[in-house]
Amino acid sequence: MEKTIVQILEHEGVGVFPTDTIYGIVGSALSRKAVRRIYRLRRRNTKKPMIILIGSFDDLLMFKIKLEAKVKKALSTFWPGKVSIILPCPIKKFKYLHRGTNTLAFRLTAKKSLRKLIEKTGPLVAPSANFEGEPPAKTIREARAYFGDNVDFYIDGGKLNGRPSSLLRFMEGKVIVLR
């Protein structure tokens, strides 16, 4: 089963599965096609970037993000965990992800099985499984009500009552909580 999911994600597919917080609709962060498809499926405002799940600090290098030692140490107090952190990423190549904000939000998930999956697939965009402005799906049944047969797979993790991740930004050496 996991091999099939890896293959689907590697071939620009999208699916719904439990993240470390809530059900997410996921696809490769390195695939413009998968990212575009998720925006369309979620009916998401195209000006809003999505959170990217990573499996290790090294994954940030794929986005040309090099952390200073003190920033990495600060991030280590939050990661792995249910905290997404906005980091600067002015690279034009990633405009399809940062949507002109020149920043990207990353989360180093605490869920070991998810980190292992990301090791195989690479970073994943993983917004909540719902239409923008609607409540996040707490069950696969609710996710199916949103997306039907328009995604390539569903993984049932039971009922999830989690909340979206906290969202932080570092500014001038201070941590700013955005949600």
Please give the average per-residue pLDDT across 144-159, as a whole number.
96
The whole-number pLDDT of residue 69 equals: 84
If pLDDT is split at 50, 70 and 90, which confidence band does 72 have?
Answer: confident
Q: How far from chain centre, in Å, is Cα 112?
A: 15
If pLDDT is split at 50, 70 and 90, which confidence band does 173 have?
Answer: low
Global pTM?
0.92
CB 143 within 8 A of CB 23: yes
CATH number at residue 103: 3.90.870.10
Q: What is the pLDDT of residues 48-57, one digit of tens each?
A: 999 999 999 9
The whole-number pLDDT of residue 1 equals: 54
Structurally, the chain folds into a number of domains equal to: 1
Residue 3 has pLDDT above 70, yes or no: no
Residue 112 has pLDDT above 70, yes or no: yes
pLDDT: which is higher, 162 or 102: 102
The whole-number pLDDT of residue 83 equals: 92
Please give the average per-residue pLDDT across 30-49, as a whole number.
95
Residue 164 has pLDDT above 80, yes or no: no
- Percentage, residues of the chain above pLDDT 90: 75
pLDDT mean across residues, the chain: 92
Q: What is the residue range of 122's domain?
A: 2-177
Helix (H) / strand (E) containing 7:
helix 2-10
If pLDDT is split at 50, 70 and 90, which confidence band does 87 have?
Answer: very high
